[in-house]
Amino acid sequence: MSGLAFDLAHLFAGLMVLVCFLMLYQDRLYSLLNTFALHAFVLALAVAWQAYIQDAPQLYVTATIALVFKAIVIPVALHRLIRRMDLHREVETVGGIGRTMLVGMALVALSISVMLPVTAAAGTLAREDLAFALSVVLLGLLMMITRRNAVSQVVGFMSLENGLILAATGAKGMPLVVEISVAFSILIAFIVIGIFLFRIRERFDTVDVGALDTFRGDLR
C-alpha cells in the first residue's frame, strides 16, 4: 500500500512538472489558459491524494479550491477577459521557446540536485515532492520572466503558486495550508478583478507589459 501511495504521489507531482513544460511552449493565450487549467487539475489530484494518504481531511478543502477556483473559475474569467478586452491572442516571448525549454530543463536539474541532498533527513515522500515542487516554482518564475503579456505573467505566477501549494501539502502535517491557499486565491482573484475593474485596457492599449516600457519616470 505504502509503495502505491508514494508512487501515485510522485506521479502527480511529476505530472505537474511535465504540464509546466507544456505551458512553456504554448504560443496562444487560449491554449495557455487551457494548459493552466490542466495544471490546476493535476494539482487538485495531487493534493487530494496527499489528503488521503496523510489522513488530513482539511487538505480536501485545498484540493477543492484548486479544482473549482483555479481549474475552472480563473481560466474561464481570463478567457472572457481576453475576449472582452480584445487582447492580442499571441503569447509574446523573450528569447525563443527552444531556449526557454533548455533553461527550464536546467532549472529542473538544479532543483533536484539542490533539494535531494538537503532533504535527505526528511521522509522520502516529502523529499521528492519538494524537489518537484521547487521545479514547478522555478519554471513558473521562468515563465513570468520570459513572457511579455500581463495575462501570461499572471498564468506564470499562478503555476508558481501551484508549486508552492504542492510543497506545502507535501510537508506532512503542516498547519495553515488551507489558510495559505485561501490567501493565495484571494491574491489571484484580486489581480484578475483588478484587471477588470481598473480597466487596464482603457489606459494601456494592450495588457502587454512590453508596450509600457516607454515609461521611465525619472528621465523625462
Partner 1 sequence: MSLGGCALAAVLVTPLVSAALLALLSGYRTTSRLNVLASGLSFAAALVLIARRPLPNDFLFVDDLNVVFIVLNTFVGFTTSIFSASYIRHELETGRLQRSYLRFYHAMYQVMLFGMSLALAAQNVGLMWVAVELATLTTVVMVGIYRTHEALEAAWKYFILGSVGIALALFGTILVYLAAQAVVGEGLPAMSWLILVENAQKFDPALLNLAFVFLMLGYGTKVGLAPLHAWLPDAHAEGPTPISAVLSGLLLNVALYAVLRFKVVMAKNPAAIAPGPLLITLGLGSLLFAAFMLYRRRDIKRLFAYSSIEHMGIIAFAFGMGGPLANFAGLLHMTMHSLTKSAIFFAVGHVAQAKGTQKFADMGGLTVTHPALGWGLVVGVIAIAGVPPMGVFMSEFLVVTSTFSRQPLLAIPLVSGLLLAFGALVLRLQHAVFGAPVGQNHKVEASYAPMLIHLALVLVAGIALPPAIVAWFQNVSRALG
**3-class DSSP state of 28:** strand
Greatest CA separation found in the chain? 66
Nearest CA among 175, 130, 186 for reference residue 17 = 130
With vertex at residue 166, the alpha carbon angle to CA 162 and CA 171, rounded to the nearest 5 degrees, is: 150
In angstroms, give the least distance from the CB of 31 to partner 1. Answer: 23
C-alpha 148, offset from chain centre: 17
Q: What residue type is assigned to position 194 of the chain?
A: G
CA distance 142 to 161: 13
Residue from the set 80, 102, 109, 175 that interacts with partner 1 by CB under 8 A:
175
CA distance 139 to 188: 18
Q: Does 183 bind partner 1 (CB under 8 A)?
A: yes
- Applying the rule CB under 8 A, the residues between 74 and 133 that interact with partner 1 are 114-115, 117-119, 121-122, 126, 130, 133
Q: Does 179 bind partner 1 (CB under 8 A)?
A: yes
Residue closer to partner 1, measured from CB, 2 or 215:
215
In angstroms, give the least distance from the CB of 195 to partner 1. Answer: 9
Q: Does 61 bind partner 1 (CB under 8 A)?
A: no
CA distance 159 to 26: 14
Q: Does 217 bind partner 1 (CB under 8 A)?
A: yes
Nearest CA among 219, 36, 46, 218 for reference residue 132 = 46
Q: Does 153 bind partner 1 (CB under 8 A)?
A: yes
Residue 194: how many CA atoms within 13 Å on its side-chain side? 10
In angstroms, give the least distance from the CB of 203 to partner 1. Answer: 5
Residue from the set 21, 172, 192, 196 that interacts with partner 1 by CB under 8 A:
172
Residue from the set 150, 192, 196, 208 that interacts with partner 1 by CB under 8 A:
150
Q: Enumerate binding residues for partner 1 (CB under 8 A).
A: 114-115, 117-119, 121-122, 126, 130, 133-134, 137, 141, 144, 150, 153, 157, 160-161, 164, 167-168, 171-176, 179-180, 183, 186-187, 190-191, 194, 198, 200, 203-204, 209, 212, 215, 217-220
